[in-house]
Every structure is written in structure tokens, then in C-alpha cells.
Structure 1
């Protein structure tokens, strides 16, 4: 099939949307839909090619098809991966190297989309920055499509034509239509339930390829329409794609039903075909510059993201507009060079390189080389971290020493000094809260992209001196480890119920400002169930409430009512005041920096200490008015009006606002004493 200029124009539009979105995210908030445009184009072109092969040969030559895809896609992709790996080793901070090298490895195996889907459901990693290879998620989806699609069409022909006696087009259309319907339904449901993983998985994207595939099997539409109708339809479709790029945002539930707009619009443009009418939008595709961008779209997509990430890492901050323009220019130069000297020569190479077995062998060897390039240093990093973790584990158990909070509790000299035990990478990778290996009876579930934890900590209720309940969001989770250890020491039994980004003190129907509709609904259900459970549990005498309140609207009145309800049920209430995260204005969460990253960047005594901005904590006000006992960790960590991140040779926060596991463990004695005192006073 001759190359269609309008398709090259659509490719140019798609890559332009994505690149501008990444370079200037506030300018084109929905530019990510360029990936969906690419998916529709791929479904259209590949299905058309396979259908013509079936027409000519009666079968799909799978070995030849996959070899052509390898020669077309892998050389440039693996080259950029290798350069990205070297760039990461030279420029990416040590705290972020494991994530980057792991994702490069997954990208080389074309399974990155599933890796990102698995990690995205964990709110503990929601603050993790994007890696140098993250954009390969869409290429992983494409490669999986190229593997499965010819097999599916082959099966459709075998069953539909040879067994059922249907025509080839009927069989193909039926199977592709079924894929379209099933995948679209899965996309709508999964996006509503768990939008973060739904964005990456192949099952929620297959319908976009199928949309293009269906168009490939239909007779061309453009020739059947009058010039005026064709013109209007073309402009409507193009404006729809552009409008999605402008008006969609990160909060748009994507790729659910709303993704039908850019997908159907792209499919319609493909169906209408090229048009030489003077007023046709397809004419915008014809200039040589647009055709070049379309030709180089693959290399442009490959290069633009690692350039952005590595440049930002080199200067230690996000790119300003001038540097973003420079990054764009470098992207174009590298894309041209890659297309000129890598993509085209290998695609068109005669002789040995054009044969299947050398193609497969070369691809396997190149993939193995890139994986080895990423895994070798990753293994060294992990060995270093394991040795450091063993040392820190010994220090965590010495309550008479000067590690972590012990440095403050034992009045050690220079508690904020940068010592050789400070390990930003280990702190960040260690995360916060309880883990399955901590020996506690906990259940974890992910509902609407937020983790819910249910535990019974300490001793059995029948043997306990006190039966407590501990409820809250992830800012309660961060204290679950010292609470578990303290509960064992004091013979307490603790019922734990937490849900990420969901405080039981906020009214039902009033969600955090960054919550999606599904997350708000799940939070409401959880809040109602947890409060009912705790109130009705006659064995619970004391309820400990902890959480993060800065992202919630002022809910003082409701918080007061919740605490009174608990007290009316005969429960004492202990309120844990929220601890400020790393230096930022309250509410400006988009500017919050990871504490380990800050320490790694500053690397000096008392690194990244700050004076917290004044604020009004409505939840603490309500606790005071309700007569609850208040435990305030800031009295320990923010002495004399200054909060500290490096304390006792370790880093307080695992990210920007959750206490690290190492530091939390050293809070066990302090935490137990605070709760014991509150119980004695109740």
C-alpha cells in the first residue's frame, strides 16, 4: 500500500501532542491522548497489511511478520534504552537509580506497562517520579498487540472460514468487533474502579487498536461522500482530537468511555482518507515538514522523554521554557539521526539482515545486552543496600543508642549530623508502614487505587490489658509499625483499620481535593463501615485517630461529631496530630520534594531542615474541643520551631510526608509511653 500523507500527518499530530504535553504540561494538559491516536493508526495499518496477506497467500506468514516488526521497531528502541541506561548511571540520583534500572529492564522485555500497572495501585509509591524509560509502557502495549493480533486473526480465519464457512471479512470483522466490545467494557469498568492501573494494561487498550482494525476492513468512506460532507466530517474529527488534547487533564477518567472521543475521531479520519480539497484539514498533512515529523515520529517519541528526564536530573530541577525548547530541538536532531542511520538502513538491509533467523538472533542478543547493562549495576546497588540494611537493623534495636529518635530521647550529642549511616536510597526504597514480613496478622486490599489495611496487632484480645482501635489514612499507617511493637511490649490488643487518603473525620460526601469519583465513593463506604464497626465493638475501650488533613476541606464540625459519637459509645479518644511533611507551603503538594532526594542533593549536617509554615489544623481543633487526648509528634521532631529530616543518622521521611520504617521503629518507646500516659489519664 502506498504511503498515505494523511496518515503521516496523523502520526505527526500524535507525537506532537505527546511531546508538547511532556515539555509544557500546563499548556497541553491532555496531550497524552496522542498515544491513543498512535494505537488506532497501528490497528488500522497492521490489520490492513494482514488482511492483504490473507488475500494473497491464504494465510499469515507469522515468522515473516514478526521479523519485519523486529527490524522496524527494536533497533531504535534498544539503542535509546542503552543510551538511557548509561545516562541514568551518570546523571540520575542514587535514590532513583533502582527504579530507573528496573524499568529499563522491563522496557527491554516489553512488559513495562504491566510493571507500571502493578506499582501504580500502591499508594505508597504514588509520589515516585517517572523513570527515564516510563514512556516505553505504550511501546510494550504495541509489541504485545503485534504478537497476539496475527495469531488472533489466524484463528478467526481457521474457525470462521474453514469450519463455519463464513467469508474472510465476516470472520475477521466478527472477531475484531468482539475484541472491541469486550476491551471497551473492561476499560470503562476498570477505569471506574482502579484508574491508575487501568491506564497501563493491555486489556483496557486493545479496543483502540480494534477501532482502527475495523476501519481497515471497511470500504473507504471518503469516495462515498460528497465533498461538503467529507469536508465537514474531517474538520469535526480533527477538532475533536485537538479539543481532547487541550481540555482533558490528569483527572480525566482515562481510558474509560471518554476515550471514545479521540479514538473514534482518529478512526473517522482514517476512514475518510486523504483529501486534496483546498479547505480539507488533510491538506495540513501535505507540507514536507509535517511529513518529516510523521516519518520520524517513532524516533521522536523514543528520544524526547529520556532527554527531558536526564536534562532535569543534570540541572537538579524541572526544565524551564527555554531549556524545554532546547530539549525539543535536541530531540528532533537525535530523531533525524536515528531515522537516517538506524531505522532506515536496518529496515531496508539486504542479505543476511533481511532473513528471519538472523533477525531473531540479533534481537535476542541486543535485548539481552540492554538487560545486562541495566541489571549489572542494579545488582551492585542492591548488594550495597542489603549490607547497609543489616547494619541499620542492629542500630534500630539498640534503644540505648543514638540512632533515629533515640538520639533525641537519649540526649545524644549533635543529633542532626550527617553520619555514614544516612542512606537515602535505602530509606526511600524501604517505604513506610507495616509489611507482610513484620509478623502481624494483616490483610491488604486495593480498592479504587487506595490500599486498605485491616490488622489485629499485639496480643490476642482475650489476653490483653487494653483493647484499642486505630483508624485513619496513610498518615496512620506510618505509625502502625511502632504501634505493633509497643502493643507487644504492653500486652495491648489493637484493631487497625486504615485506608489511604481517607480520614474518618471528614464528612461522607466530602472528598479530598485530589480524589477521583471512585476513590471518594470507596472512602465513603469505608468510613461508614469502620465507624460502625468501632462504635459497636464493646471490647474496644480506646480509639486512636491519625491522619492527614491538609487536603481535606475544613470539617471541624463533623470531626467533633465523630469524636462525640465515639465518646458516647464509651470510648476514650486519642488524637495523633499530623506531622508536617518536607518543607512546603501547606496545600502545595505538587512542590513537595522527597526527603531522601533532598538529603542526597544537599548532603550536609542537618540537611533539609525547615521552619514549617503556620497553619490551622481543623482536626486538632476538633480534638481539643472534644476533650480528646492529643499526641503531637512535632514536639519531638520540630523543636524550637524547626523541623528536621536527618535525625540520629537516618532520614525521618521515606518520601515527602510519610515517616520511614527505620525511623518509625525507633519511635516505639516514645509512642508506647505516649499512649500509656493517655490510657492512664482516661
Structure 2
């Protein structure tokens, strides 16, 4: 989540008289050069940061507390636009270097300190599986492009299950910094194009700024609504879906300045604004399409609360937001925001008690105290340091600070990776390494997990999610058309073709099938697609790329006489889809719903075409209820007791498992073969995170590359036997 441009209590919420006069026109009431401190804005900052903290510590109770970020964006737009407007009116220009230097002195010291401290805490306390991703996000955060990195990761299939890092909240700071860069540049261009000499009065400057900012805000709001509907994961992070929130604050500064609607009606509107913010925080959730239209409720609420209210009596809404404790928390809100999220992520790794209410309350008090101290003794002295006053020194200091954080984090991760490298005797050439420890338990005495040595280590296993062995062989979920990838034997030497059909759970077995195809002089046709369950659903004008591609694949494989064998594999968990759009006569017997008919239809069609159809058993899905970490994370945290990461076999069966159930449905059908996989990872009662020193999964459901390599010969033997049988 985000914060606004943090300022001191004596200056942060001050809007200069020039800006106020322009907004008020002939009704301006202040004398030239005067300014008015608005403590209620500091109180609003306090509310915003407390909403964010509440959401992060108790996400299921304050499910929409993330809207505090949007309140911060509105405040930032208000204060920064007022500042730039004052300068434009006073001098006819905006001094970009001076403006950016002030932002640097105000924001970078605290943010770079938190990044550096967090990096050291992560490599000290967190499992090695998160180090690399944290390092890349710290780099992006230091360069203020974190939001774009997260937007890219949100649509990258291999990163969809990544746990949040301890610096993920810096995405909001990245959005704000980009706003601080682009906003003044835009206004400078406006002044240059219109001509400062023709803008001789504040009302004219105001009119031009209102027109430009209003048009930009409307365009951004439209983009936010459309993009949120089309790509909600990306829309949440990208800058152009958020600019309109800053624009709302900017328009408020230009149109009203520090003027406010008071009296009974104004105070009622102020309370209404507060109610709008709180309603969004209480009723919204992660399922809310956001930002888009939904973000209008908290942002317009913030505008109302800033523009309307009273300070008289107990009913004055601004009176409560101007109280000293509220203003103090507002003063520290930037530091509170920076420190709180690393504590949320790291504290449970230190002690399980961090998940309890009493400890959470103590942690929040500690965060507030740490924020007050870091603001008083670190952030403020650096911001006021005379040595950094010249613009060029601020810019150089910023570049140096970013470099220290990036290089320091890389060095810390590299050093820790060297100290945690495996030094045990068990390795891939050991007779009890990997699958052999499960298959030959009599010879390989001791725990199934092995002697505690891990080869490769968890950090290397989790990195496999980002390093596909067969680059380009798995189509993206939304790629158009049928995507083919050829492996196995050379076409000139091949005798027939094996096709592999399915989602990423089919792709993960490719090393085994590639090896088998080469050994048996077969071509290997890969027809896999990320997040696309192998099935035959009805296709119409509204069908997605997955459904359309599957329709073509079923017919293509059916009609290609060179394809002798088809291997099908899929995850237990899938999205919703309907029955086939064509008649498929499945064997009588067990009642089959629409989802089952869709998944089993390709099997029947290819059997009727005379193909050998091999259905792979659906692999166990480990730790299904633990959404915050992956299996390699568990292993990294429990290297002294690997049994802690085991799972009961029955608990790993979480989906409808129609491919597994195909054994009964197609039992006795010519050409049908079932290839079990559960026994590669489990015994009769237990599924293992580590077998013979080899980590079995690279997340919670995809078998690791090292373990696939270890069972490749066994899979090839099973395939050969079932085809002969």
C-alpha cells in the first residue's frame, strides 16, 4: 500500500495563499504570503495508514482496508498540485530540479533505510526460497518501478503462486514517485505550450491547469474501469489506472484551495465522506474489482472529508481529525507504512505467536514507536541537512543511496547462499537418492526424506518456476491458435509420433517423455497450455483461447495418422467450464457431470480413432490450506525436521480428479491406459516434500525438475509396459 508525500505537521498540509486566492477568485480571504495549516489532513493520513495496517494484520476482518492507499493518493494529488500551482503563479514556471530534490530529501532516506534493514532481516530470518525474489523486488523498489514488476508477475503463470515479499508494499511508493516525476513535467509542458507570458493572473493559470488535469483524470478513470474489467491483476498495480485519484486531489486544490464548506451542511458532508471511506474498508474485499468504479467510493469520500467539515463541538468531524494524537500519527504515517509490512511478513517467521491478537497489537505499538523514532532521528535530520540543499547533491545522494541498497542486497543474498550451500554426502548419484529411497525402503534404511542433506537446495528448486527447461514449449493461456512444440527424435529418423496434451501439469513431465521419445525413435508433439485444462467444451463466439485451441487440437490429433499415442495430464484444480458442444458417447456406468464429460471427451474421441491414449494420474496437491508459502518454503524452514512438511495422502486429493476416475470409466476399453503417479511421491498413507534428499515439488503442485529427472526412467518403463500390455 502507499503513502503520500510525507511532511511535517507544520508544513505538510499547508496550501499557500496564492493557490487559495486562485481557487477562491474574488472571495479570497487571506493576505498575500499567508498560509494555513490543515491538521485534519494529517488526521486523514492517520486514518488511511491505520486502515492499511488493519487490513494487513487482519485481512479477513477489515477486508477492504487497502482503500487507505487510495486516500493517500488523493492527499498527494492535493498537496503537490497546490505546491506546483503556487510556483507557477508566482514565477511563471516550475523548477523541476528543485522540486525533485525536495522530494528526494523528504522520501528517499526513510525508504532506502527500510529496504536495507529489510534485506538483512530477510536473509537472516526468512527461508532461502524467498531471497532471490526479495532481491529482485528490492531492486525494483529502490528504482521505484516495483508496481510494474508486480504487474508483470501477476500475469506470468510461473509467478502466480509466489508469496508476497517483505517489500511488496513499495509498489504504492513507486506509483507516487512516478506521479512526482510526471506531474510537474506535464505542468511545465502546459506552461510552455500555452505561454507563461499570456497567463498573467492566477485565475488563468488555474483554468488551464483544471482543464488539463481534468482531462487527464477522466482519461485515467476510463482506462481504470476498462483495464480493471479486462486485466484486474495488472490494473491494480499499473500507474495509469491510478492517476485519476491524484487528479481528484489536484482538482480540489485548484478549485477550493484551503477553503472548506462548513456549517451544518458542510459538516454533514464531511461525515458522509468519512462514512464512504469506512464503508469501502468494511465491505470491500480482495474479490472486489479494483480500482475501477469501486475506487470512486473511498476517493470521493476523501475529497468530501477534505473539502467539508467543522471543528466546533463534539459533532465537528474535522475536530476529531485535528486532535494531537491523530496529527502525530499522520506525521509518522509515512514511516509507519514503510515499517509495518516487513513486520507483517517477517514476524511470523520468528515466532508463531505473532499470529495472535495480543502480539499483533504489541507489534503495531512497536511499529508506531519505531516510526516516531526513525522520523525524528533519521528522516528529519537528513531532510534538513544543509549539505544536501543544492539540487545536484540531492540527486547524487539519491543515486548513491539506491546503489548501496541494490549492491548491498545482492551481496547479502550471495553471501548467505554460499553459507547455506549443501555440504552433505547424499547426491544425485547415491543409490538411495530421490525416488529410490521410496521405492526400495528395505535397502535405504532410515527416514524416507534421507539424511537431511538437500540436493539441490530449496532456493534452487523454487527458482525452477522461473526457468522452464523447455522454453517456448508451453503456450500462454491467452495465446491464439494451436501452439506446437516438437521434441524427441529427429523427423528423418522417427517412427511415429507421441502427442502430449494438457496444462502445466503435462508440461512438467516433458523431460521424461522427451527422453523416452528419443530412446524409442519417436517424435514428441507438445500441445500444452498454461492454465488450460485438457477438455472439449462447447465453443461459441464467447469462448476463450483455451477452449478454441482445445477444439482444434482434438480434431488435429484425431485426424493425424502419424500420431500413435496421446499422453494426457492435468491438475486436480481447474476453472469452471461446461459440457462438450458435440455428442460424445462415453462408456456407461458411473454418473458423469458436465465437467467430467468435457475432460473425458477427448479420450473417447481418440480411442474411437484408434489411438493409444495414456491418462496420467493427477499428482498430489500438497499443503492445500497453506496459501502463504510453498513446499520448498516449508523445507527451507524445517531442514532439521523435514517430516514437518509431509502431508496425509488423503488430504492431497482436493479436486474432482476426473482423469484419475477415468480408470473405472474406461476400464477394458481397447487403447486406454492409465499411468499412476501418486506412488512416485507417496506411500500408502503419506506424501513427501523430500524423498531421498530430493525436494519433490517446486511449488505445491508441480513436481520439481530434479525429481522428474529422477523418476524419468521409471515413467518410461511404466509407459513401455502399459503400451505392450
Give the TM-score of the pair, scaled to structure 1: 0.86
**Aligned position for 2:703:** 659
Residue in structure 2 matching 1:424, options 430, 452, 457: 457
**Aligned position for 1:515:** none
**Aligned position for 2:444:** 413
Return the alpha-carbon distance in structure 2 between the equivalents of residues 669 and 120 of structure 1.
36
Return the alpha-carbon distance in structure 2 between the equivalents of residues 592 and 254 of structure 1.
25
Return the alpha-carbon distance in structure 2 between the equivalents of residues 506 and 617 of structure 1.
16
Return the alpha-carbon distance in structure 2 between the equivalents of residues 522 and 247 of structure 1.
34
Structure 1 SS opposite 2:138: helix
Q: Deviations over 1:564-596 (max 9, x none)?
A: 233334433221111213245xxx353774244
Return the alpha-carbon distance in structure 2 between the equivalents of residues 280 and 635 of structure 1.
69
Return the alpha-carbon distance in structure 2 between the equivalents of residues 680 and 158 of structure 1.
80
Is the aligned partner of 1:540 residue 2:567? no
Structure 1 SS opposite 2:604: helix
Residue in structure 2 matching 1:361, options 396, 413, 423: 396
1:434, distance to aligned residue in structure 2 (A): 7.3
**Aligned position for 1:334:** 370
Is the aligned partner of 1:293 residue 2:329? yes
* Structure 1 segment 264-303 matched on structure 2, within 5 A: 264-272=300-308, 276=312, 279-303=315-339
Is the aligned partner of 1:97 residue 2:137? no
Q: How many residues align?
A: 657
* Structure 1 segment 170-249 matched on structure 2, within 5 A: 170-219=207-256, 227=263, 229-249=265-285
**Aligned position for 1:556:** 596
**Aligned position for 2:188:** 154
Structure 2 SS opposite 1:417: coil
1:537, distance to aligned residue in structure 2 (A): 4.5
Is the aligned partner of 1:115 residue 2:159? no
1:304, distance to aligned residue in structure 2 (A): 0.8
Is the aligned partner of 1:43 residue 2:67? no
Q: 1:345 to 1:384 in 2, by over 3 A?
A: closer
**Aligned position for 2:121:** 87
* Contact kept? 1:23, 1:324, Cα under 8 Å: yes
Return the alpha-carbon distance in structure 2 between the equivalents of residues 595 and 292 of structure 1.
43
Deviates more, 1:238-247 or 1:192-201: 192-201
Is the aligned partner of 1:136 residue 2:167? no
* Contact kept? 2:199, 2:205, Cα under 8 Å: no
Structure 1 SS opposite 2:486: strand
The RMSD of aligned alpha carbons is 3.5
Structure 2 SS opposite 1:237: helix
**Aligned position for 2:3:** none
**Aligned position for 1:514:** none
Deviates more, 1:48-57 or 1:65-74: 65-74
* Contact kept? 2:100, 2:181, Cα under 8 Å: yes
Where does the alignment leave 5 or more consecutive residues of structure 2 unmatched? 1-14, 16-35, 577-592
Q: Deviations over 1:527-567 (max 9, x none)?
A: 44544554454543433221122456773344344432333
Q: 1:475 to 1:206 in 2, by over 3 A?
A: same
Q: 1:161 to 1:533 in 2, by over 3 A?
A: farther
1:474, distance to aligned residue in structure 2 (A): 2.5
1:305, distance to aligned residue in structure 2 (A): 1.0
Return the alpha-carbon distance in structure 2 between the equivalents of residues 497 and 653 of structure 1.
23
1:296, distance to aligned residue in structure 2 (A): 1.3
Structure 2 SS opposite 1:542: strand
Is the aligned partner of 1:479 residue 2:509? yes
1:77, distance to aligned residue in structure 2 (A): 1.5
* Contact kept? 1:458, 1:487, Cα under 8 Å: yes
Q: Deviations over 1:257-299 (max 9, x none)?
A: 3223323332343344766575453343122221222121111
Structure 2 SS opposite 1:677: helix
Is the aligned partner of 1:488 residue 2:508? no
* Contact kept? 1:113, 1:137, Cα under 8 Å: yes
Is the aligned partner of 1:54 residue 2:88? yes
Q: 1:526 to 1:301 in 2, by over 3 A?
A: farther
* Structure 1 segment 322-471 matched on structure 2, within 5 A: 322-349=358-385, 351-381=386-416, 401-405=431-435, 407=437, 413-414=444-445, 416-432=449-465, 435=468, 438=470, 442=473, 444-445=475-476, 447=478, 454-459=484-489, 463-471=493-501
Residue in structure 1 matching 2:345, options 306, 309, 313: 309
**Aligned position for 2:616:** 576
* Contact kept? 2:452, 2:640, Cα under 8 Å: no
Rg larger for: 2
Return the alpha-carbon distance in structure 1 between the equivalents of residues 484 and 208 of structure 2.
50
* Contact kept? 1:12, 1:294, Cα under 8 Å: yes
Deviates more, 1:479-488 or 1:130-139: 479-488
1:473, distance to aligned residue in structure 2 (A): 2.3
Where does the alignment leave 5 or more consecutive residues of structure 1 unmatched? 510-517
Q: 1:63 to 1:572 in 2, by over 3 A?
A: same
Deviates more, 1:457-466 or 1:114-123: 457-466
Residue in structure 2 matching 1:609, options 623, 646, 657: 646
* Contact kept? 1:444, 1:453, Cα under 8 Å: yes
1:46, distance to aligned residue in structure 2 (A): 0.5
Give the TM-score of the pair, scaled to structure 2: 0.81
1:70, distance to aligned residue in structure 2 (A): 1.3
1:478, distance to aligned residue in structure 2 (A): 1.9
**Aligned position for 2:582:** none
Structure 2 SS opposite 1:621: helix
1:50, distance to aligned residue in structure 2 (A): 0.2
Return the alpha-carbon distance in structure 2 between the equivalents of residues 605 and 644 of structure 1.
9
Structure 2 SS opposite 1:431: helix
* Contact kept? 1:120, 1:196, Cα under 8 Å: yes
Q: 1:384 to 1:352 in 2, by over 3 A?
A: closer
* Contact kept? 1:161, 1:168, Cα under 8 Å: no
